[in-house]
Structure 1
Amino acid sequence: MKTTTISDCLSRTLWSGADRPGRMHDQTAMRTEGIAEQLRLHPDVKAKVDEGYRGLANEFSDQVTAPPQGRQEDRR
């Protein structure tokens, strides 16, 4: 199972999405939960995400930061 959870800078849970099958890609879960739409509606919101949400960081580069993408060799 996989749940998308959003917390503030003090690690307090602000929102927790529905449980999804673990095989569901993070990007699919993010779109299903409406996170991208919320970022569009609230352009002043900033977020830090893990590498599974890199597409979100690419789409909302002013608002979302993801860890730098490493080379394939570095991830082994």
Structure 2
Amino acid sequence: MEEKEERIRQIMFHSGCTQTEVENLFETQGLWLDNLESEEMIEAIQKMKLEVSTWKRYILFLYRRISLCKREKKF
């Protein structure tokens, strides 16, 4: 168990992901903790970051749109 937690901390450090994101990666992508440096792990982390970034931009867009509509009394 201690080894798993250490691996998660290493991945968090290298990837900039949170613990929850790293744990979700293993659950959803079926990745193993011992392939930290593998291309598969790097690709999965990059894909996840891209998906998160895309959703953040979309949410920000919606927030701005709703704020604009509220100011114009359309919402």
Q: TM-score range by the shorter chain?
A: under 0.3
Where is the helix percentage greater, Structure 1 or Structure 2?
A: 2
TM-score normalised by structure 2 residue count: 0.23
TM-score normalised by structure 1 residue count: 0.23
